[in-house]
Chains A and B, each alone.
Chain A
Amino acid sequence: MGISDRFSVKGRVVVTAVGLLCISLFLTAYSSKHPEVARAGSAVISEITAPVGRAVASVRAGARSAWSGYLYLRGVAAENDSLRLELGKIRGEVLALGELSRENARLRALLNFSQSSGLAGVAASVIGADATGWVRGIVVNQGSTSGVTVGMAAVHPQGVVGQVISVTPHSARVLLITDHSSSVDALVQETRVRGIIEGAGSSGCELRYVTKDAPVKSGELVVTSGFDRVYPKGLAIGRVSSVQSGDAGLFHAVRVKPAVDLQRLEEVLLVSAAPAPANGAQGGQS
């Protein structure tokens, strides 16, 4: 390849790159105004990757069970092999039963929560997480064939988890409340002070637009107001972890620690959008 050919190849690469860059900028601008484009593409990707996610999850579970059961016993003396193998199998079964029992307990808690709160929904298991590391989201194993739709709230017996942002026939993507794009209409339970919960990444959440004259203290429970018509009223979001009131500005800086441990989430309940409460917030402020 001659020098002119090399420059020609480099030039074509640069021209193509500039063209594709323009397309990507156009797509960014377009998809920010039309989120259904991203959801449609995500549906295709999720439909392809969900089986892989399930396979990875089952392989992990199998590997853990194998390590605890059979591999744990490798290297024992030869005369005890058969007995220990038997013991290993039994231990494996016990561990598997224990795992099933714990899963059963979690699902029972989810069912009890669904019945006691009157929220009819779809129970789903977490099968994946966001690949980029920039978006705080999870993938669950129930999709449109189970009745899941975009906009449904993902909840847990301990509180609010997030909102469904895209759905495929067999999986759905949930944006967690700690993501920066997430917002929830909320009330401080004791004082009925109203605000908007916004994601703050690893710091948890922030309760925004709470005026400085509103009484908010650390440790108070923040619940959903139901006014956003996404989350049913009265679900726990988290507890106030700190309140800062600087000299400047009109509002408190209120940090909220989510009620649900979002890192160790295994099952969620997906519930339909709730109608707005009729009576409104009593003594609501901001």
Chain B
Amino acid sequence: MRLVRLCVAGCVAILLQAGLAQAGLPGYLLPHLALLVVIQAAFLEHGIQGVVASFLVGLALDFSSALLVGPWAGAFVIVYAGLTILSRGLFVESPLVTVLAAFFSTVAANCFFSVLSPNSDLSVLGHLLHILSQAAVTAACAPFFLPCISYVSERRASPLRRVSSAAPAL
């Protein structure tokens, strides 16, 4: 059930991204909302269902571009696995943690995508500016967007359980 919820949340996020792009928002200012779904899934410790959902959401994003299949799927899996390992011991409901996680996750995912994508003509500086600006916008959206995803994907989980699960095991 979590898997389905996460996939639905991811697809909605992709549709929102597409809507923002359609509204004329340039690529470097486009928030990576689908990645925020992955980040929230990692924070809420969805386990194997979470990593599979991340892969499927990434695959949907790959298909939406019609060029290559796999780069975003791989990037999302890396972000999910990385955050699952790193989020233990963090107070994941702190806005600062979510902002930092969103920023560095977007940088990591975009770097992974850039390595595998065919856009080799873009200069290194161009890549860097694109990645950093998109990461900044995504990080700015994270504190507002993550609670919405949490509501959709984890309605029955109590906040107490999530906070305690994020604390170091005694």
B residues 5-40 near A (Cβ < 8 Å) are: 14-15, 17-19, 21-24, 26-28, 30
Residues on B with beta carbons closer than 8 Å to the beta carbon of A250: none
Q: Is the CB of A6 within 8 A of B169?
A: yes
- For the complex, what is the distance from the CA of A56 to the CA of B52, rounded to whole Å? 30
Report the separation of the CA atoms of residues A18 and B58 in the bound assembly, to the nearest whole angstrom: 15
Number of A-B residue pairs with CB-CB distance less than 8 Å in the complex they form = 177
- List chain A residues, Cβ under 8 A from B58: 24
0/1 per residue, B42-64, Cβ < 8 Å to A? 00010110111001001111111
Q: Tell me, in angstroms, the Cα distance from A136 to B130 when the chains sit together.
A: 14
In the bound complex, residues from chain B placing their C-beta under 8 Å from that of A136 are: 27
- State in angstroms the CA–CA spacing of A12 and B50 once bound together: 12
Closest to A167 in B: B66
- Cβ distance B125 to chain A, nearest Cβ, rounded Å: 12
Which A residues are CB-close (under 8 A) to B149?
A: none
- Supposing A129-B21, A200-B121, A201-B126 touch, asked if A134 and B47 sit within 8 A by C-beta, the answer is no
**Which of A31-39, A82-90, A108-116, A274-282 has 4 or more CB atoms under 8 Å from chain B?**
A31-39
Partner of A133, one of B21, B52, B84: B21
| CB < 8 Å neighbour of B22 from A20, A56, A166 | A56
In the complex, B104 has a CB within 8 A of chain A: no
* Nearest neighbor of B25 in chain A, beta-carbon distance: A133
Q: Are B48 and A16 in contact (CB under 8 A)?
A: yes
Q: Is A28 an interface residue (CB 8 A)?
A: yes
Determine if B1 is an interface residue (Cβ-Cβ < 8 Å).
Answer: no
Q: Are B61 and A133 in contact (CB under 8 A)?
A: no
- Is A130 a contact partner of B65 (Cβ separation < 8 A)? yes
**B139 close to A (CB within 8 Å):** no
Instruction: Select from chain B the residue with minimum beta-carbon distance to A201.
Output: B122
Q: Does B69 contact A (CB under 8 A)?
A: yes
Checking A27, A46, A198 against B73 with a beta-carbon cut-off of 8 angstroms, the contacting residue is A27
Does chain B have a CB within 8 A of A263? yes
The answer to whether B77 touches A21, judged by C-beta atoms less than 8 angstroms apart, is yes
- A 251-278 binary contact with B (CB < 8 Å = 1; else 0): 0000000000001000000000000000
The interface residues of chain A lying within 8 Å CB-to-CB of B103 are none
Asked if B152 lies at the interface with its beta carbon under 8 angstroms from chain A, I say no
Complex Cα distance, B116 from A18, in Å, reads 17
Structural contact, A41 and B85, CB atoms closer than 8 A: no
Given known contacts A17-B78, A20-B51, is B70 in contact with A132 (CB within 8 Å)?
no
Residues 80-116 of B, flagged 1 when their CB comes within 8 A of A and 0 if not, give 1100110010000000000000000000000001001
In the complex, chain A residues whose CB is within 8 Å of the CB of B126 = 201
Residues B77 and A41 in contact, CB atoms below 8 Å apart: no
Chain A: minimal CB distance from B4 (Å): 15
> Which residues of the partner chain A approach B55 to less than 8 Å between Cβ atoms?
20, 23-24
Chain B contacts for A49, CB-based, 8 A: 14-15, 18, 64
Name A residues whose Cβ lies closer than 8 Å to a Cβ of B.
3, 6, 9-10, 12-14, 16-18, 20-21, 23-32, 35, 37-39, 41-42, 44-46, 49, 52-53, 56-57, 60, 127-137, 165-166, 173, 175, 180-181, 198-202, 263
